[in-house]
Amino acid sequence: MLGRSKAVGVGEALGILRSHYTPPEPGREEVSLHEALGRVLAADIISQIPLPEFPRSSMDGYAVFSADTFGASEQIPAYLKLAGEVVMGEAALHPISHGEAIAIPTGGMLPDGADAVVMLEHTQTLDAGELEIIRPVAPGENVVQPGDDIKAGEVAFTRGHMLRPQDLGALAGIGTTRVPVFKRPKLAIINTGSEIVPADRTPRPGQVRDVNSYTLAGLVRLAGAIPVLKGIFRDEYGPIREAVESAISECDAVALTGGSSVGNQDLTAKIINDLGNPGVIVHGVSVKPGKPVIIGVVGGKPVFGLPGHPVAVAVCFNLFLRPLLKEISGEIDPLEHMGISGVRVVEARMARNYSSVPGREDHLGVMLKKGDDELWAYPVLGKSGLIFTLVKAHGTTVIPADRPGIAKGEKVIVRLFD
């Protein structure tokens, strides 16, 4: 076991976890598109049809033979006979012949024989049922051809893709209304601490309301997983051990809040070790806040002991649990495979000097303000037990372990909160 005196770096901690734990293949289910937002596809989706399925106009105007417009100009217009109109949602009543033009709305189905659409702005209707055209069009101009969006037999989405709103619309467009998805991973949340009381109860002196269960459950949902709230437990070995055993049997991972620091009430590490090998694999990471975090593996499942302070809970979740839950969910993020984080980030300048301790990765909450056509990051200072420091911050910036701090005016990358 790595003790507090041998705290490891964030990357090393993740490497140790991966060496002891391999996520199993997630279960599968089928859901409707209305239930599919944020779900991860369990199989490739292949379009059975081209989209669009028919040639259609991309402009309001007139369907024509393009050759009939060649050479048209304001000085020497082309004149075509008006031969009807296309009604939205219906096919043209008859094919077009040379010398004819048929009125067509945006999205209307091109009549047989037509190969282009003249924009309405480049035409004028004459009293004799004729159309005057002052600009020529090339074959295919202002026309969306069948398969321009996607071709029949083409892979629309690959296994591991997390479905976004635009993806649901695309699936509906190709007639796929039910999709195979991986089941959402479940994270058990066990809140420990004799001083913790439910949020709807008035605490007595020395007691505090449960904050971490709500914060952690929200973070779990944003990560696409399901939080399973096991309750609040006093600092007693037996009940906490029983809760952890139950959580391991029914969930994919377990997170305990509180009980990760050194002291008489430090039960988390003992329980994890007592429940089976390898037990605790990391106890202490060189990060602020969150240094006393515990990482263990029991029964083939990861168990985390998170610090009791809310800010440390959020930082440790984003460092360790969020990427783990994404992996357990079966998601394959193409941005991460290209070396780009899928998390929203912005560049800003530091508004004041901030010193850090070399050898420790410092996660600093910052508030963003606009000034001089640039964003400025103002540190939101406060102890890690103060939840409203998270509320006031727009995101966090990281001071690497090899830096003594950040100077005023220096550019930083701010990871925005979801």
Domain segments of the chain: what residues? 4-27+183-331, 28-51+148-182, 56-144, 345-416
**Side-chain half-sphere exposure of 329, counting CA atoms within 13 A:** 28
Contact 263, 292 (CB under 8 A): no
Over residues 201-220, the mean pLDDT reads 96
Residue 334 CB partners (closer than 8 Å, separation 6+):
none
Could you give the CA distance from residue 180 to residue 33 in angstroms, rounded to a whole number?
10
User: For the segment 11-55, what is each residue's pLDDT rounded down to a tens digit?
Assistant: 999 999 999 999 999 999 999 999 999 999 999 999 999 999 999
Per-residue model confidence as pLDDT tens digits over 83-100: 999 999 999 888 999 999
Architecture per CATH, domain 56-144, reads as Beta Complex (2.170)
Q: What is the DSSP string of 181-240?
A: EEPPPEEEEEEE-TTEE-TTSPPPTT-EE--HHHHHHHHHHHTT-EEEEEEEE-S-HHHH
Give the residue with greater pLDDT, 152 vs 267.
152
In CATH, what class is 4-27+183-331?
alpha beta
Each residue of 149-178: pLDDT tens digit?
Answer: 999 999 999 999 999 999 999 999 999 999
pLDDT tops 70 at residue 2: no
Task: For residue 407, give the amino acid letter.
Answer: A
Q: Beta strand pairing status for 405-406 and 354-355?
A: antiparallel
Class at the top of the CATH hierarchy for domain 345-416: mainly beta
**H helices present in 288-417, as ranges:** 310-316, 322-328, 334-337, 388-392
Q: What is the pLDDT of residue 262?
A: 54
Mean pLDDT of 116-129: 94
The Cα–Cα gap between 241 and 316 comes to 22
* Residue 360 pLDDT class (50, 70, 90 cuts): very high
CATH 3.40.50.180 for the 28-51+148-182 domain, yes or no: no
Of residues 261 and 85, the one with the higher pLDDT is 85
Residue type, 125: T
Q: CA-based Rg of the chain, rounded to a whole angstrom?
A: 31
Residue 4: which pLDDT band, with cuts at 50, 70 and 90? very low
Distances (CA, A) of 91 to 7, 95, 220, 354: 71, 10, 50, 68
